[in-house]
Structure 1
Amino acid sequence: MPTEVSIIIVSYNTKALTKQAVAAAYASSQTHGLEVIVVDNGSTDGSQEALKKAFPMLVLIQQKTNGGFSQANNRGAQEAKGKYLFFLNSDTEIEQGATDVLVKELERSSKVGIVSGMLLNEDGSVQPQGGALPNLLNIKAWMMFVDDFPLVNRLFLPYQQSRSSYFTARHQMGWIGGTAVMMRKTVFSQIGAWDEHIFLYGEDIELCLRLHKAGFLSVYTPEAKIVHLKHQSAGAERAAKGEVEGLLYIWKKHFPAWQLPFLRLILLTGAWLRILIFGILLGDDEKKRTYTEIARSLAVAGR
């Protein structure tokens, strides 16, 4: 069967997780020819040797250094033979048939630029992802916890959609998480690949912004299911910092310069609010330390 879908997995010191992800990837399609490409970012935990032994048919790209999520995805896309590119995190297990569902979604309309499925936690509960494309108003609502109120959350699509019931139906979204996304290779080439200036976090939002500007839709479907061990491949603390850094970069690239000081102020206010709630009131020292570092970096950057 000719290769129709190239599944690209970025790995960095996640040997056991990556082996599970690769095994599930090979079993994820009933009707389409697959190739699985793992781009290893210089792992030192024996990942490369273990993958070679377990999956002789695997396309393994061994990088000497960790160039980041975007760079590794682009490297995998360069080697891909498939018509469809399926970017998949190493801490995921895609369920059987999910690849076929995502291909079908892309084939529904040439306007669909990127698709993702339902992310699930280990216990089977829905893991929210994506939301509206960012603007100052919805970033402020997010940082001030305004969009956590049920009524507000239902009136408009927030920057980060956290309502689990939302994900029981198909939706067009502003952006979808890069955990498990599929695109046509032609569209990927047209809009210019992943932005390698973003090491980790925010690259999916930036990609969807470019897709939107080019006239493409970002689509979510609950019919394709993927288990995601959230932040197992990176870390929650790094995620919080990465989100802020990613937004600052996105604003510099895509938005008017006058908005950047307002964004910094919104993010700084939100960081102090989280220090108060999580660190002082709830006694979470790790989150207090994380958001204190974020607040300091924003204060320095705003001078």
Structure 2
Amino acid sequence: MTPPVEAVVIGRNEGARLIACLAALEGQVARVIYVDSGSTDGSREAALREGAELVQLDTAQPFTAARARNAGLARCTAEFVQFVDGDCILAPGWIDAALAQMRSDPALAVVCGRRRELRPEASVYNRLCDIEWNTPVGPARACGGDALMRRAPLAAEGGFDATLIAGEEPDLCLRLRAAGWGIYRLDAEMTQHDADMHRLGQWWRRARRAGYAFAEGAARHGSPPARHWVTERRRALIWGLVLPVAIFMGTLIWPPLALVALVYPAQVMRLGLRSGDWPWAFFNVLGKFAEAGGALRYYMARLRRRRGALIEYK
């Protein structure tokens, strides 16, 4: 029997990745709804050929992943919804495993699994994504863009916050947990993701988007008991902004203070020795500068009372 699950796929100019995404859903879900955010590469026509229902977002309003997921959710009628980003391929057997977990615990609203990078060996940036996807198994605080969700509690919480340009999944999960629902990370293969990052600039923009999300998340939910992304925001601002400015200003007063900058290679060494992964350690420290830039971008938009624009890395 076809499982009581409908899939919501979101995308923009994903090309062949979208076709692979839709093909992998065949036979795993009862219905596929594809929400397109202004594609110009034939993605909409390809989705229709693959048998998906098409929802086209109004281009007069700013695009966000949250807005696209909500548009797909509005079309759903099944008990469960599988959200999938258009650059991901759903693993065979995932739906059955996720449904079994959902049915074993009626208090669960979200079940996610292992998202893997499709070609981690292709670039250090892809491998960094694969490390990021490897979250702890068991009760979780949040999920990513791919997850099986129970539709009723999702709808009761108003879905995703369409104004968020990043971090909309943790925001939703925080609200679901506050309402008494659970989030679970299953020890099972869920999706393969195609980041397709081969340039430093792409990785930098992605890290800057994370910093923006940290700042906005902490501004919204940073007070106790949630303390949402307060630590991540603090680390980004200290390592990526406060320390560099302090070192620069101190050096102007007394040049030997420039030696304080050695704290950065020392931090790389500390993280590298602890993890055994030196590239990850290096980019973890370097990324704080990009994250701080993203946080500043959020604060500037808030000061000007403007809505933040998407930060895309593809």
TM-score (norm 1): 0.71
Q: Equivalent residue for 2:235?
A: 266
**Structure-2 residue corresponding to 1:61:** 55
| Residue equivalent to 2:110 | 114
The amino acid of 2:42's aligned partner reads G
Cα pair distance change 1:289/1:43, threshold 3 Å:
farther
Residues 3 and 35, structure 1, Cα contact 8 Å, conserved in 2? no
Structure 1 counterpart of 2:194: 229
Following superposition, the deviation at residue 270 of structure 1 comes to 2.9
1:42 maps to a residue whose letter is G
**Equivalent position to 2:216, from 230, 236, 249:** 249
- Aligned-partner Cα distance in 1 for 2:150–2:223: 30
In structure 2, distance between residues paired with 1:230 and 1:41? 18
In the alignment, which residue of structure 1 is the partner of 2:25?
A: 25
Deviations 1:246-292 (A, max 9, x none): 122222222339x8998755321232589955xx9999xx9999765
Deviation at 1:13, TM superposition (A): 0.8
Cα-to-partner distance string for 1:136-191 (whole Å, 9 max, x where unaligned): xxxxxxxxxxxxxxxxxxxxxxxxx66xxx55xxx11112222x111111011122
Q: Which moved more, 1:266-275 or 1:248-257?
A: 266-275
Letter paired with 2:214: L
Tell me how far apart the structure 1 counterparts of residues 119 and 294 of structure 2 sit (CA, whole Å): 36
Q: What residue in structure 2 maps to residue 35 of structure 1?
A: 31
TM-score (norm. length: structure 2): 0.68
Distance 2:204 2:163 in 1: 20
Preserved contact between residue 8 and residue 38 of structure 1 (Cα < 8 Å): yes
Identical positions, percent: 21
Contact kept in structure 1, 2:144 and 2:170, CA below 8 Å = yes
| Matched ranges for 1:270-289 at <5 A | 270-271=239-240, 276=264
CA 267–10 in structure 1, closer or farther in 2 if over 3 Å, else same: same
Structural mapping, 1:75-94, within 5 Å: 75-94=71-90
**Contact 1:39–1:62 (CA<8 Å) still a contact in 2?**
yes
Considering only CA atoms, is the larger Rg found in Structure 1 or Structure 2? 2
Equivalent residue, structure 2, for 1:48: 44
CA–CA distance in structure 2, aligned partners of residues 196 and 216 of structure 1: 21
After TM superposition, give the deviation of residue 294 of structure 1 in Å: 4.7
Partner of 1:103: 99
Distance 1:241 1:105, change over 3 A: same
Q: 1:290 to 1:220 in 2, by over 3 A?
A: closer
CA offset at residue 218 of structure 1?
Answer: 0.9
Q: Which residue of 2 aligns with 1:15?
A: 15
CA 299–246 in structure 1, closer or farther in 2 if over 3 Å, else same? closer
The one-letter code sitting in structure 2 at the alignment partner of 1:45 is: D
Bigger drift between 57-66 and 97-106 goes to 57-66
Label 1:64 to 1:231 Cα distance change in 2 as closer, same or farther (>3 A): farther
Kindly indicate whether the alpha-carbon contact (under 8 Å) linking 1:3 and 1:81 is maintained by their aligned counterparts in 2.
no
Structure 1: segments with no counterpart, 5+ residues: 131-160
Match among 145, 156, 160 for residue 194 of structure 1: 160
In structure 2, the residue corresponding to 1:267 is in which secondary structure? helix
Amino acid at match of 1:208: C
- Cα displacement string for residues 190-227 of structure 1 (whole angstroms, at most 9, x for unaligned residues): 22210112123x11111111111111111011234321
Paired residue secondary structure (2:188): strand
2:151 aligned residue? 185
Structure 2 match to 1:173: 140
3-state SS of 2:74 partner: helix
